[in-house]
Chain A
Amino acid sequence: MNNKNVLLLKTLLRSTSSFNVLKTSKDSKKKGKIIGTFIAYILLYLMLLAYSVLMAMGYGRAGLTEAMPMLLTMILTALAFLFTLLKSNSYLYGFKEYDMLMAMPFSEKAVVGSKFLYMYIKSLPWYLTISIAMLIGYAMYAKPMIAVYPLWIVLSLFIPVIPMLVASLLSYIVVKISAAFKYWKAVQAVLLFAVIILSFFSRFFIEKIIKDDSIDEVLTSTASFTEGFEKIYLPAKWFREGATELKISGIFLLVGVSILLFELIFILVARSYKRLNSAMKTSVARHAYKLTKQKKKSVARTMAFKEIKRFTGSIPYLTNAGAGYVMAIGVGIAALFVGLDKIIGTVTSGAPVSGDMVKVAIPFIAYFLTGMVALTCASPSLEGKNYWIIKSLPMSYKDIYYGKILANLYISIPAQLIATIGMCIGGKCGVAETIGYIILGITLCVFSATFGCECGIRFMKLDWENDVEVVKQGTAVVVYMFPNMILTIAMLIGSVILSMIIGKALVIVAAILIYCLLTAVCMMRVMALAKRR
């Protein structure tokens, strides 16, 4: 990297750093908000660290100490690949300051390479937290040499590079294919969804390859699991050899291949970078509209329409928030053909549960996908610089947020219904039972939209550069996701256990009542927060 590339990378990091604003801003309210967000992130990192240390200790106790380097590689690889796939598109192409940078004396490779490194550095704290936690667990059980500690940390910084590069390459292929089409946004969204879903389900295929390789061993066997993964993913072997066996070859291979791949991929991307961005940054206007009969809608419905157009018009928003809905629909359709047992068997990797035991969990399984992200978490912040439009129009705060909740429901309820009905038919549930699951599913969707809205308003951030900052990295999304996920898992397990004691019907009614109550509480908070805004 030459000096100008370093300068560009430094400026990119500085330009999105809250510390710079903290240092230079005179706005005390803004400073307070930055400090609050910083503390929230520290707490999140500590929670992740504690969780990961416990996980590593669990592996150690289970006799998987030797497999820990490989497990770390596996976790970081999966996270880096999936997260990059979801965000690289908007980080690398068609970004806001593209014109400004491209008009300066920077090469295409310098611009796209710096953007990649920026994306990598921004996600490093998450990966480093997991790496440190795994090292603590490893150190407790393996008692390694002193040299292992720095090497583990340094080499683990390279683990996410290769999966991130592969994801960026996939993203480049998607952009390149879609750029040739007139409706490139639609093509790009479809291709991205396909890649995301394939990547998500590839986990099962990889597991199968690893399992098939071992003859008598089960998944928990350290040797077979390590060997299996290392066979299909060499960087895992290089990391293990470099970090724990201090083999120079492992160190050189991991670092060297990462750098070489970076160079090769960005030479390739840079060759058509301007052409791809030209296609993405220019919009074709047909100028052929003829005014026809217009319809009047209620304020909430017209707000909902605006929200849906915002959702479908932004690829990062659509792919990040929409992946769960598409997967829910996929699961519903798949259940029709392969049955509920097969789906549950695949998800639980052959754990001793039968379809009948978990039928009561159907709405929660569907909700796990449809409620993974709520559009309402992001939609208040996504108003961004357009916030003045809704604020200056004569509409009440109630209509604004009812509209946002309604838009969320227009999208989440159909996906929830398809998934639930598909699984009910696949699981041969009775009509009354299916109706119960449908009502519970709808209640869950309403709760998700309302709770999401509460988080969205509470952590509203209007000054952002890229949709991804709100949709993927926004505090509102993180604050929504964790409690919602924990509550869903608790309700899922609780429902399965309770249904065996008090029966499914009572469990469904109780769950509906609990979620109605939670929704009412969230709605009151939404209105109180909205009034203050």
Chain B
Amino acid sequence: MSVLTIENYTKIYSDDKKAADNVSLTVESGDIYGFIGHNGAGKSTTIRAIVGVLDFTDGEIFIDGHSVKKEPMECKKVTAYIPDNPDLYENLTGIQYLNFVADVFDIDAATREARIKDYGDRLEITEALGDPISSYSHGMKQKVAILSALIHEPKLMVMDEPFVGLDPKAAFMLKEIMHEMCARGSAVFFSTHVLEVAEKLCNKVAIIKKGKIIAQGTMEELTGGKSLEEVFLEGVNE
């Protein structure tokens, strides 16, 4: 079952520069989908369009069968987004922020408590949740953003460079959580520069270059015995 479908998505800036050109891909339930490309290739622009933050010029994006353009609220209810540099409310404490997100997604008290405890302990952030976010390090903010994304058990988790700033244990935990989500039938779509992570973690990958998808498919289809690094370098150097 398709959780995310991108059909001919195109984003053109005011100076006619194409940030994304006819991008199409499908993320199925249970997929961990890696989105890789150079700096400025169009990864973040595409991700921000998926989560409904950025509008786009042409094409369609569907999440769980709903159009991002026509039914944005339906899409947002089943999606979680973790940006590369999360701008959280600095004067709130971690727990106040998590409660805000839980309230937005209508999560009852018992469920939110259980999820905060479970994921908080695994990411080793529970003890810091009483402190203002302004006192957190980048990695701690990233952990709170991850925790807030998991609080409503989304069908689709979209992440922009999620491993940047995370300590090794938290990075390991996040990978575990991603697998658990997919086992439950959700899907994960994330961008990364770390090809080794993508190779080990993802079952599907798309490579974007100057706004165009130059290769996509299952890991086996794409690599065909080579390493992902080799495939990527061949693709971007062409």
Contact = CB atoms under 8 A, between A and B. Distances in A.
A15 B92 contact: yes
Contact of B14 (A8, A14, A100, A180): A180
Interface residues of A, number: 42
Contacts of A104: 76, 101, 104-105
Nearest to B105: A105
A184 to B, nearest CB: 7
Given A15-B90, A26-B131, A284 B13 contact: yes
A23 B87 CA distance: 22
A15 B51 contact: no
A21 B134 contact: yes
B90 A465 contact: yes
Given A18-B91, A24-B130, A99-B53, A4 B14 contact: no
19 contacts: A7-B100, A16-B91, A20-B92, A20-B132, A24-B93, A96-B87, A97-B88, A98-B53, A99-B87, A103-B53, A103-B81, A105-B73, A106-B104, A107-B72, A107-B73, A181-B14, A182-B14, A274-B54, A282-B13
A389 interface: no
Given A105-B104, A279-B14, A15 B53 contact: no
Contact of B91 (A15, A107, A275): A15
Closest 8 CB pairs of A and B: A15-B89, A103-B81, A105-B76, A103-B51, A182-B15, A102-B53, A278-B55, A278-B54
B135 interface: yes
B155 to A, nearest CB: 13
Contacts, number: 104
Interface in B73-118: 73, 76-77, 79, 81, 83, 86-93, 96, 100-101, 103-105
A11 B99 CA distance: 10
Interface in A483-526: none
A17 interface: yes
B50 to A, nearest CB: 10
A96 B52 CA distance: 16
Given A104-B76, A278-B55, A465-B90, 7 more contacts: A27-B135, A102-B53, A103-B79, A105-B73, A105-B76, A105-B77, A463-B90
A14 B103 contact: no
A463 B134 contact: yes
Residue of B40, B76, B130 contacting most chain A CB atoms (<10 Å) = B76
Contacts of B19: 282
A100 B132 contact: no
Interface residues of B, number: 39
Contacts of B90: 15, 463, 465
A231 interface: no
Residue of A27, A105, A278 contacting most chain B CB atoms (<10 Å) = A105
B44 to A, nearest CB: 10
Contacts of B88: 97, 100
A103 B52 contact: yes
Contacts of B72: 107
Contacts of A179: 14
Nearest to B81: A103
Nearest to B94: A24
B76 A20 contact: no
B48 interface: yes
A290 interface: no
Contacts of B40: 285, 287
Interface string A258-293: 000000000000000011001101101101000000
B226 interface: no
Interface in A61-112: 96-100, 102-107
A28 B100 CA distance: 27
B200 interface: no
A282 B96 contact: no
Interface in A4-54: 4, 7-8, 11, 14-18, 20-21, 24-27
A442 B100 CA distance: 52
B216 interface: no
Residue of A7, A15, A98, A181 contacting most chain B CB atoms (<10 Å) = A15
A29 to B, nearest CB: 12
Nearest to A179: B14
B141 to A, nearest CB: 11
B45 interface: yes
Contact of A11 (B13, B76, B92): B92
B54 A24 contact: no
A24 B96 CA distance: 11
A97 B104 contact: no
A70 B90 CA distance: 41
A390 B175 CA distance: 37
A7 B103 contact: yes
Contacts of A20: 91-93, 96, 132
A103 B68 CA distance: 11
A11 B100 contact: yes
B14 A184 contact: yes
Nearest to A14: B92
B40 to A, nearest CB: 6
Interface in B158-186: none
A285 B18 CA distance: 11
Contacts of A21: 91, 132, 134
Nearest to B133: A15
B96 A14 contact: yes
Contact of B55 (A96, A98, A100, A275): A275
Contacts of A18: 91
A260 B23 CA distance: 42
Contacts of B92: 11, 14-15, 20
Contacts of B134: 21, 463
Nearest to A16: B91
Contacts of B73: 105, 107
A177 to B, nearest CB: 12
Nearest to A106: B104
Nearest to A110: B73
Nearest to B69: A274
